[in-house]
Homo-oligomer: A and B are copies of this chain.
Amino acid sequence: MKIARPLRRLIEAFEKLPGIGPKSAQRLTYYLLHVPQADLDLFAEGLSSLKKDTVVCSVCKNVSESDPCEICSDVNRDQDTILVVEQPLDILAFEKTGKYYGSYHVLHGAINPLENIGPEEIFIEELLGRVKKKAKSLKEIIIATNPTMEGEATAMYLNKKLKSESEKINVSRLGMGVPTGADLEYSDETTLTQALEGRRQI
């Protein structure tokens, strides 16, 4: 059936987004028909300026308005501790805890041989460069890649590389175990094994 072309075009644009199927795309598009033109224009302006108005921080590779980014240029933050994450969104998650005052490094991915993503495709070289530059003052590198196969492989690779740089570098990996609010009954064996191994005296 003939959906009006302007509607179809927008439905197709929404469909390309992750997690939005044809039905949701339709629903969103028809919903927007009831939204004031000013809001639509604002949304459109936001989309087309998204990449124009942002840069990748030359230090930590986070997406930012300024270079270096706000965190890298913040003198109140400990620039000698680096927390390594896969994606810019992971930074947000750590910032929300309010418990981390160091700097970050965004890899923009993880090593994934199945998808042809090797160590060169992500910002590992840049991390090693940062580490080399501040070899003296560096306190700790916290590897916070995802607890998935790819994240683990990346963490192992990073650790090896960092240690080959200097044996004295303090490299740590995020603690693993059961998450708050979880039901032990439904926890998988790997998680429970890691929770046991990572047990702490109380």
Instruction: Mark A residues whose CB is within 8 Å of B.
Output: 1-7, 9-10, 13, 16-20, 24, 26-33, 35, 37, 39-54, 63-65, 70-71, 87-89, 91-92, 95-96
Contact = CB atoms under 8 A, between A and B. Distances in A.
B44 A6 contact: no
Q: Which 3 residue pairs across A and B have the least CB separation, nearest first?
A: A1-B95, A44-B44, A44-B48
A63 to B, nearest CB: 6
B27 A19 contact: yes
Contact of A51 (B16, B27, B37, B70): B37
B47 A40 contact: yes
A10 B50 contact: yes
28 contacts: A1-B95, A2-B71, A3-B92, A4-B53, A4-B54, A6-B49, A6-B52, A9-B42, A10-B43, A13-B39, A13-B42, A13-B46, A16-B39, A17-B28, A18-B28, A19-B24, A19-B28, A20-B28, A27-B89, A30-B87, A30-B88, A32-B47, A32-B50, A33-B50, A33-B51, A37-B51, A43-B47, A47-B47
